[in-house]
Amino acid sequence: MSRIAVIFTIATSIIVGVHVYIWFRLVRETALPPPWRAIATLALILLGASIPTMFLLRGNPVARDVLKWPGYAWMGFMFILFFALLASDVARLVAWIGGRLGGAPPADPARRLWLSRMIGGSVAALAGGAGAAAMVSALGRVKVKEVEIPLRRLPASMDGFTVAQITDCHVGSMLGRAFLAEVVESINAMKPDLVAITGDLVDGGVDELAAAVAPLADLRAKHGVYFVTGNHEYYSGVEAWMAHLPSLGIRVLRNERVTIGEGEVSFDLAGIDDWNARGMAPGHGPDLRGALAGRDPRRELVLLAHQPRAVIEAAALGVGLQLSGHTHGGQIWPWTYFVYLQQPFVAGLGRERDTHIYVSRGTGFWGPPMRLLAPAEITKVVLRSVV
């Protein structure tokens, strides 16, 4: 069995298990009367089936367009509902243990049913409200977030140098040209000195998305627009994208370093391939040591790396600042905490030894059109010189 088939089988098994749990808690345990029991059961079966079916039929444009909104939206609501029910069950267990230890008599069946219905209804309403708010957050106009970062080797004359960072746009079936045009408009309005695109720009091939990413050609920055690959570029025909992006005025950094500025009034900008690139395309894979070979360690160094975990090596090699994405800030809380199992930093400004790292929550979204307690951002990074 192929690796993709194994992953699909595991994911489908998890989806089935989650739906059985939701059915048990909201249908069986609440003793829904007919015909609501049958309606709720059928709805859960259809909604659950829409998720794997959506991925199985993603090669069919008509089926994909029909299934993407209900499939992805339910995926998000399912996630929120599952964790809300799980939290309520933990609370009920704690209350039950407390009651038993306190000598309280067991609740009678009628009271247990009333509690199940009250808790189930309240949790479902809460999850529905949270999901709706998350959709509004994800589908609204992306706001600019400003952050100042001190760099000890930055020339004093470059104090206030601005980098507009976007990442994880995931232009594809859910987000298209209109979304990216708004992002470009917001970036140009801040008049940045440099634009950095730190990966996962697209979810699809050049032949499918060339028109959708065309607004990137309108980006304006004194020192140019730079790009490094994310893992999703490797799912989308990375070589074709590496050939296409320069036609939009975007410089792709593949394990290389360039000078930003002139003479003494300058710093080094480096970019590396995505952490997982090795083995996904011939000749690809991160090589930070190669990118930094021969550099003057007295010069400031800013690194573009899609995944935050690259910061461990970056700190060892004297990088002053790393700009990353990949995590989406968790995208849908409480997934934020699970991301820490893979990445040392999930969102915002952090530090590894003498290296600053800024992890953007991302500009678009992947999968569910939702962002719960993890708003999208276009980041205005203001570099400050520190004597």
CA dihedral 191, 324, 371, 122 (to 10 degrees): -140
| DSSP one-letter code for 248 | G
d(C-alpha 330, C-alpha 333), whole Å: 6
pLDDT at 211: 97
Coil, strand or helix at 330: helix
C-alpha 353 chain-centroid distance: 25
Encoded amino acid at 264, one letter? E
The residue whose two tokens read 């699970």 is 338
Spell out, as residue ranges, where the chain has pLDDT lower than 50: none
pLDDT at 101: 84
Q: What is the token pair recorded at 192?
A: 């940045």
Closest among 180, 181, 188, 197 to 232, alpha carbons compared: 197
d(Cα 307, Cα 346) in Å, to the nearest integer? 10
Whether this prediction's pTM lies above 0.85 is answered by yes
Residue 250 CA, chain-centre distance (Å), reads 22
**Per-residue pLDDT tens digits for 271-317:** 999 999 998 999 999 999 999 999 999 999 999 999 999 999 999 99
The Cα 261–Cα 222 span in angstroms is 10
- What is the reported pLDDT for 346? 98
Please provide residue 13's backbone torsions phi and psi, each rounded to the nearest 5 degrees. -65, -40
DSSP-derived secondary structure letter, 26:
I
Secondary structure percentages of the chain, helix, strand, coil, to 5: 50, 20, 35
- Per-residue confidence (pLDDT) for residue 385, from 0 to 100: 97
Q: Are strands 348-352 and 355-359 parallel, antiparallel or unpaired?
A: antiparallel
- Contact between 375 and 137 under an 8 Å Cβ cutoff? The reply is yes
Alpha-carbon gap, residue 118 to 147, rounded angstroms = 44
Length of the chain (residues) = 387
